[in-house]
Structure 1
Amino acid sequence: MARATPDILKLGDEAQREGWPEQLAVRICWHYYMLGRTQQEIAEALGINRVRVNRLLAEARRRGIVRVTIHSKLTENVALEQRLAETYGLDLVEVVIGDVADEAQLAEVLGRAAAGSVAPLYEDGMTVGIAWGITLKAFAQATEEKPLHDAAVVSMLGSLTRRSSVDAYEATTDLAARLHAECYYLPGPIVCDSEESRNTILQQPMMREVFLKTRSADLALASVGGLDSSTIRLMGFVNEAEFDEVSKAGAIGNFLGYYLDEKAEILDHPINRRVLGFPPSDFIKIPRRIMISGGPTKVPVLRALIERGYFTDLVTDAETAKALLESA
């Protein structure tokens, strides 16, 4: 049975008491998608209320029990993909429809959309580096199971925290499970309490082993945080006073835990000296580097990174693609 996550809370009190009712969810999905019955008809047939049918359908989609594929693309998006690839020298570009209410929803849409595009790249014996956040969590959960031989998935950000809610953003475990790969974590906090603590952790043999493994990665998967929308800020790893300081210092966004300036350089600021993340200077040496990100607040940092050649492939939404082309 699938492991329950914090998102199970969305299913309502009855689901919280039962845990994840997978058999009921599968039965509902079969009635809805295969037999074409309405949610009300399913509720009456199974003796439950329609709200619960709706929630379990949504949760089944989120967990990957049901996958919907649209075998067509907007002509406008195809043109944007070609222009982005030519303008910035990218190997692969996918532009998806991003008509959603906010950037958190957009992040999940992009993550799910990217899973299918990346799937053909997985090979036996490869090492995959992955960051964390809403986008990459959705990406990992939408990845179809593909057993690999002698493969590894490595976290590019610290993994330890006292807050269980961070599990909602941690993607390494999910992706490793989908690929039947060995899972490597950075055994330390995402943001250390001091520069001295970070340096001490980095000197540990286990930490050096994971960093070496990440440097040997064949494929890297990352997203960015806009200055205001960074998951690190939303999770409280940076307090408001620190955020104000780094903003005034010229930060335009967050990448691999580090705040960057308009030239995609790590800001010389105390916050960045406490981050336990894979250095961008090493990230750029990984052969295949896929950026999955979009939204208005992320355009400045995406633009800076793409102009510096930080990634080889891009999955984004149409409005972000247009903004990147306008700036070019």
Structure 2
Amino acid sequence: MSKEEKKQEQAARAAWMYYVAGLTQQEIAKTLGLSRQVAQRLISSAREQGMVSVKIAHPVTHCLKLAAALQEKHGLSLCRVVPSASLDNEAIQQMLAVEGAEVMSQYIAEEQPQVFGVGSGKTLRSIIDALPWTERPQHHCVSMIGAIARDDSGTRYDVPLRMAEKMQGKYFFVPAPLYADSPDDKAMWCQHQVYQRVAARALNAHVAFLGIGDVSIGCPLNAEGFITDEQVHSLEKRGVAGEMLGHFFDHNGERIIGELDQLLTSVPLESHTTRPIIGFAGGEKKYPAIRAALRGGWVSGLVTDEASALKLLAE
């Protein structure tokens, strides 16, 4: 057994003790001969690797009412709200992962072949990590955002591949960097036949699953080196509220067009969309982006948290 396999075995053992036997982290640590910190990391690792599938049969009535009210107010085809009162961002993300996986699973359960357009980012990654393994080789996952990072490596948040693995289906990726080096370079990437075919698949997907991102110093696009501090400040001066697939919009949901659009290779999006696009986001930092995405009609469905839903309905 390899070192990695032994680590997975240990994580699975810790998960059984914690979630099924009801042992505390201290008790697990003592049983396995580890420190409490290592036991805690093993339990977190088991959840992140999709070993643990959580299903709570009884919904929170207040959250159901919030979801119904949001759905009606913004004309959404789907809305889910997870409890979040007084929780920190990490806990909210874990809840979004469980609820997001439940939403995705409903589409994956379809027997008829489906095409899923998939974005990228930490929230989507955690949702797909929470997805159960299933046998749906007839389904396809199509990336909607460039799979090549600034340094020519594969992006760490290439989540469509992970989703395809979970379903045992095919994966189609956008053969381009998120931002090209120049407008001419963008034209070269986007005019390639492979890009054209993948983009057409994504645009005709049965449903798209996308994260709703904030734009600030330290946000994923900035931290990963896709946009500079100077470009972030420039976008902030123009009233940026959020982004989806690198498409920036202001607090009213209106598109902010700038220099980066001449380089962006993502699959096109449009406001007041008629396409089935489900957005996933929650937490205080993401609230302006969520509100703007709804105002601009960038999503037709939403999975968010209780505190965000309350603020959205109060406005």
Normalising by structure 1, report the TM-score. 0.86
Q: Contact 1:230/1:253 (CA < 8 Å) preserved in 2? A: no
Equivalent residue for 2:125, pick from 129, 133, 137: 137
Task: Tell me what 1:119 maps to.
Answer: 105
Are 1:190 and 2:178 an aligned pair?
Answer: yes
Aligned residue pairs total 309
In structure 2, how many angstroms separate the alpha carbons of the residues matched to 1:42 and 1:268?
53
Q: Contact 2:246/2:266 (CA < 8 Å) preserved in 1? A: yes
Moved more, 210-219 or 268-277: 268-277
Are 1:248 and 2:237 an aligned pair?
Answer: yes
* Secondary structure in structure 2 of the residue aligned to 1:275: coil
Are 1:261 and 2:247 an aligned pair?
Answer: no
Give unmatched runs, 5+ long, in structure 2. Answer: none
1:253 Cα offset (Å): 1.3
C-alpha spacing 1:158/1:144, structure 2 compared with 1 (3 Å) = same
1:150 Cα offset (Å): 2.3
C-alpha spacing 1:164/1:37, structure 2 compared with 1 (3 Å) = farther
Equivalent residue for 2:75, pick from 72, 79, 89: 89
Q: Contact 2:132/2:166 (CA < 8 Å) preserved in 1? A: yes
Are 1:203 and 2:191 an aligned pair?
Answer: yes
Q: Contact 2:76/2:300 (CA < 8 Å) preserved in 1? A: yes
Q: Contact 1:108/1:134 (CA < 8 Å) preserved in 2? A: no
Equivalent residue for 1:47, pick from 21, 27, 33: 33
1:250 Cα offset (Å): 2.9
C-alpha spacing 1:282/1:91, structure 2 compared with 1 (3 Å) = closer
Q: Contact 2:54/2:98 (CA < 8 Å) preserved in 1? A: no
C-alpha spacing 1:273/1:109, structure 2 compared with 1 (3 Å) = farther
Q: Contact 2:271/2:296 (CA < 8 Å) preserved in 1? A: no
Equivalent residue for 1:294, pick from 256, 259, 282: 282
Q: How does 1:226-245 map to 2 (within 5 A)?
A: 226-228=214-216, 230-245=219-234
Q: Contact 2:53/2:132 (CA < 8 Å) preserved in 1? A: no
Moved more, 174-183 or 275-284: 275-284
Q: Contact 1:159/1:186 (CA < 8 Å) preserved in 2? A: yes
1:172 Cα offset (Å): 0.8
Are 1:323 and 2:308 an aligned pair?
Answer: no
In the TM superposition, what whole-angstrom CA distance separates every residue of 1:247-286 from its partner, at most 9, and x where no partner exists?
2233221111121134433322101221221111299343
In the TM superposition, what whole-angstrom CA distance separates every residue of 1:134-170 from its partner, at most 9, and x where no partner exists?
1100111111122224221011110112376941x22
In the TM superposition, what whole-angstrom CA distance separates every residue of 1:94-147 from its partner, at most 9, and x where no partner exists?
110234323x65344323321112211222311000111111001111111222
Amino acid at match of 2:76: L
C-alpha spacing 1:245/1:36, structure 2 compared with 1 (3 Å) = closer
Are 1:18 and 2:7 an aligned pair?
Answer: no
Amino acid at match of 2:291: R
Q: Contact 2:97/2:123 (CA < 8 Å) preserved in 1? A: yes
Q: Contact 2:242/2:292 (CA < 8 Å) preserved in 1? A: no
In structure 1, how many angstroms separate the alpha carbons of the residues matched to 2:46 and 2:252?
42
In structure 2, how many angstroms separate the alpha carbons of the residues matched to 1:38 and 1:86?
43
Q: How does 1:143-158 map to 2 (within 5 A)?
A: 143-158=131-146
Amino acid at match of 2:71: A
In structure 1, how many angstroms separate the alpha carbons of the residues matched to 2:33 and 2:307?
44
In structure 2, how many angstroms separate the alpha carbons of the residues matched to 1:42 and 1:165?
37
In structure 2, how many angstroms separate the alpha carbons of the residues matched to 1:210 and 1:56?
38
Q: Contact 2:209/2:278 (CA < 8 Å) preserved in 1? A: yes
Moved more, 181-190 or 64-73: 64-73
C-alpha spacing 1:196/1:262, structure 2 compared with 1 (3 Å) = farther
In structure 1, how many angstroms separate the alpha carbons of the residues matched to 2:230 and 2:272?
29
C-alpha spacing 1:285/1:278, structure 2 compared with 1 (3 Å) = farther
Q: Contact 1:129/1:220 (CA < 8 Å) preserved in 2? A: yes
Percent of residue pairs identical: 27
Give unmatched runs, 5+ long, in structure 1. Answer: 2-16
Equivalent residue for 1:278, pick from 267, 275, 288: 267
Normalising by structure 2, report the TM-score. 0.89
Q: How does 1:22-33 map to 2 (within 5 A)?
A: 22-33=8-19
Are 1:180 and 2:172 an aligned pair?
Answer: no
